[in-house]
Structure 1
Amino acid sequence: MLLKRSLPKIRWKYWVQPWQQVDWLLFCLPVIVSIFGGIMILSTELKQPITDWWWHWLVAGIGVLIALFLARCRYENLMQWHWITYALTNLSLIIVMVAGTSAKGAQRWISIAGFNVQPSEFAKIGLIITLAALLHKRTAATLPNFFRALAFTALPWLLVFVQPDLATSLVFGAIVLGMLYWANANPGWLILLISPIVAAILFGISWPLSEPLVVFKEIALGPLGLIWALAMGILGWQTLPWRRFGISGISTWVLNMLGGELGVFAWNHVLKDYQKDRLTVFLRPGHDILGAGYHQNQSRIAIGAGEIWGWGLFKGPMTQLNFVPEQHTDFIFSAVGEEFGFVGCLLLLFVFCLICLRLLHIAQTAKDNFGSLLAIGVLSMIVFQLIVNVGMTVGLAPVAGIPLPWMSYGRSAMLTNFIALGIVESVANFRQRQKYY
């Protein structure tokens, strides 16, 4: 009799054992956000014959199954296959360039069985796995290892950038910076790494407060750019090893000045018109609100109209009358702000903060550097996308076309986020060595 009563309990343990150490709070929170995202997508399409909300939930359900499967697989196996992962990542990005589908001025999708797949989204996972494998033994504490990691990052980043997909290339940069910092890279090196980009922005864009900029030898010499280049020269002299005769400082200063000249060149010859318009609108709030600034202006109006408590689900006038373009994708946060108000926005951001804290906890408690770096890579990806997406909807960041994780409609992005979640859950699940059966 006692044996019969114990059988169901034993069977229950048998089925649950593969996920015994999974962080269920981390797993459940994205599922809740995905469900809520589907509801908000439905609200934006309530008066239209569109079923994106249904697809959102369907792809999320598939993502949950993938995440559960990955959580029970040992993440260490990814290290053995990281070169194949790296090769497949680059191959998929090359295929997009050769046989991809174009839309909105970019060639980013591959059509498979009638569905558009965006390889650059999955490339984020490939980059995280590759960097974690490169840095788990050879940390970024030395310049050779630091540049080695950057060298392998350069190819997929360049392939994404030339699609062109500036938003995803920025996400790549955030992942690399986060993982290099976690791998003991000198923080000064990370600042120097992005310093030419900052110099390009300061030199290459006509800021309203310093316009017109002084032009000398085709380089727009803004005072902020000169101060920045000088500061980076001092930082290079202090952190880089070639300090004799000030070589490190001078070379860093020259690099930033060249970055400024490249910024002018990129502004005039590389950036698309819509990309320049987005930066101009960000720097000049209220400029061209019926053209390039229309999306962001309408989003800010919708969020402001929600006030403290919001209009209520399916009751936001801006959302229901479709005044905010692309609201079901990049601007989904504006629907939350209008229909649930300031309180609803805070609750959603609180949930995202919990997700990030759980990711950080797993990174700190992982049993090896490889698992820790995987978790930090995913954390860097989520945090950057969250900050930029919310920032652009409220006017604190330029419109970049970066989706809000698990909230915005996008099948490739949804699957990527759940794959990343499954990998991190595997790190949590195998924090302690278990017996093989």
Structure 2
Amino acid sequence: MLLKRSLPKFRWQYWVKPWQNIDLLLFCLPVAVSIFGGLMILSTELKQPVTDWWWHWLIAGIGAVIALFLARFRYENLLQWHWFTYGMTTVSLIAVMVAGTSAKGAQRWISVAGFNVQPSEFAKVGIIITIAAVLHKTTAAKIENVFRALAITAIPWGLVFLQPDLATSLVFGAIVLGMLYWANANPGWLILLVSPILAAILFSFAWPLSTPIVLFKDIFLTPLGLLWALTMGVLGWLTLPWRKYGISAIGSLFLNLLGGELGIFLWNHVLKEYQKDRLSVFMNPDHDPLGAGYHLIQSRIAIGAGEIWGWGLFKGPMTQLNFVPEQHTDFIFSAVGEEFGFIGCLVVLFVFCWICLRLLHVAQTAKDNFGSLLAIGMLSMIVFQLIVNVGMTVGLAPVAGIPLPWMSYGRSAMLTNFIGLGIVESVANFRQRQKYY
């Protein structure tokens, strides 16, 4: 009789045991965000439907199941397949260039069984796995290992940039920088890596401290850009190992001067008009209030209209009347601001911060460097997308096609986030050796 009473308990423990060490809070919070995101998408499409909003919940449910499935299996097995993963990632991005479908000036999707799949989203996870496998034995404390990680990233990054998908290519950069920092790379090296981007911006500013000095026909620099390049030269001399004959200083200086000139070339000959418009209206949205600046202006008005407590779910006038374009995707946070106000925005940001803290905890408690780097890669991806997406809705960042994780409508992005979550949950689940009976 005693054996019969204990049998159901034994069976329950047997079925739950494979997931007994997962970070349950880390799993539940994104699921809750996905449910709330579905409600906000429904609110944006209540009067004028653009998509089938319930797909958001359906894909989130599928993603949650995939995450639990991945958490059941040892993440260490990914080490054996990381070059295969890298190869598949690269092939999928090439396939987009050859046979992809285009929208809004970019070729980003492949049609599979009637569904549009965005390989660049899944490539984020592929890069995380590959870089974690490369750095888990040889840390980034040696600069040759940093160059190795950058060289591996360069191919998929270049393919994404050529689609063109500037926003996703920036996410790639944030992932790699975060993982390199966690792998003990010198912070000065990381500053030097992003310094050419800042140089390109400083070379283009048109204000008194940046009045262009023409050197040749199509080559010029600005005093502010030159000051930045000189500062990076000093930083290179202090941090890089090649000090003999001033190679580190001269190389850093030249890299930033080249970055500034390259930025001007990209602006004039490579960037699409819609990309230029997004960058231009960030500095002055009122310059084109009915064109490129319309999204940002309407988004800020909607968030401001919510004041402290908001209008309430399904009651925001700008959301219900579709004044904010692309609100169900890139500007979903503006719907939160209008309908739930400042307090609602704070709650959403608090939940995301909580998710990030749980990811950081998994990285700190992982049993090996590979698992720790996987968690940090996921953390870097979520943090960057959160900052840019929320920033662009309030005018603190240029408008970019970066979705808010688990909230913006997007099937590929949703599955990518849950796949990454499942891998991190596997890291958490196998922090201790498991015994199954």
Match of 1:269 in 2: 269
Deviation at 1:436, TM superposition (A): 6.2
The one-letter code sitting in structure 2 at the alignment partner of 1:28 is C
Q: Secondary structure at the match of 2:286?
A: coil
Deviation at 1:3, TM superposition (A): 1.1
The one-letter code sitting in structure 2 at the alignment partner of 1:417 is N
Q: Secondary structure at the match of 1:81?
A: helix
**Partner Cα separation in structure 2 for residue 187 and residue 238 of structure 1:** 12
Q: Secondary structure at the match of 1:116?
A: strand
Match of 1:69 in 2: 69
Match of 2:213 in 1: 214
**Partner Cα separation in structure 1 for residue 433 and residue 195 of structure 2:** 42
Match of 2:165 in 1: 165
TM-score normalised by length of structure 2:
0.98
- Describe the shift of the 1:240–1:41 C-alpha distance in structure 2 as closer, same or farther (beyond 3 A): same
Contact 1:96 1:107 in 2 (8 A): yes
Aligned residues: 436
**Partner Cα separation in structure 2 for residue 206 and residue 186 of structure 1:** 30
TM-score normalised by length of structure 1:
0.98
The one-letter code sitting in structure 1 at the alignment partner of 2:199 is A
1:101 aligns with 2:101: yes
Match of 2:78 in 1: 78
Deviation at 1:143, TM superposition (A): 1.2
**Partner Cα separation in structure 2 for residue 210 and residue 143 of structure 1:** 35
CA distances 1:7-51 after superposition (whole Å, capped 9, x unpaired): 110010011000000000000000000000000000000012445
- Describe the shift of the 1:222–1:10 C-alpha distance in structure 2 as closer, same or farther (beyond 3 A): same
- Describe the shift of the 1:322–1:168 C-alpha distance in structure 2 as closer, same or farther (beyond 3 A): same
Contact 1:219 1:260 in 2 (8 A): no
Query: CA RMSD for the aligned pairs?
Result: 1.2
CA distances 1:328-347 after superposition (whole Å, capped 9, x unpaired): 00000000000000000000
Q: Percent identity?
A: 82
Contact 2:48 2:322 in 1 (8 A): no
Q: Which segments of 5 or more consecutive residues in structure 1 lack a partner in the other structure?
A: none
Deviation at 1:215, TM superposition (A): 2.9
**Partner Cα separation in structure 1 for residue 206 and residue 62 of structure 2:** 46
The one-letter code sitting in structure 2 at the alignment partner of 1:115 is F
Q: Secondary structure at the match of 2:53?
A: helix
Q: Secondary structure at the match of 1:247?
A: helix
Moved more, 285-294 or 403-412: 285-294
Q: Which segments of 5 or more consecutive residues in structure 2 lack a partner in the other structure?
A: none
**Partner Cα separation in structure 2 for residue 261 and residue 202 of structure 1:** 10
Q: Secondary structure at the match of 1:286?
A: helix
Contact 2:202 2:210 in 1 (8 A): no
Contact 1:92 1:119 in 2 (8 A): yes
**Partner Cα separation in structure 1 for residue 59 and residue 197 of structure 2:** 36
Match of 1:24 in 2: 24
User: Residues 103-118 of structure 1: matches in 2 within 5 Å?
Assistant: 103-118=103-118
**Partner Cα separation in structure 2 for residue 425 and residue 294 of structure 1:** 40
Match of 2:92 in 1: 92
- Describe the shift of the 1:6–1:404 C-alpha distance in structure 2 as closer, same or farther (beyond 3 A): same
Contact 2:359 2:376 in 1 (8 A): yes
User: Residues 30-429 of structure 1: matches in 2 within 5 Å?
Assistant: 30-203=30-203, 205-208=204-207, 213-217=212-216, 218-429=218-429
Q: Secondary structure at the match of 2:102?
A: strand
Deviation at 1:214, TM superposition (A): 3.2
The one-letter code sitting in structure 2 at the alignment partner of 1:161 is F
**Partner Cα separation in structure 2 for residue 332 and residue 68 of structure 1:** 27
**Partner Cα separation in structure 1 for residue 214 and residue 39 of structure 2:** 52
Deviation at 1:220, TM superposition (A): 3.7
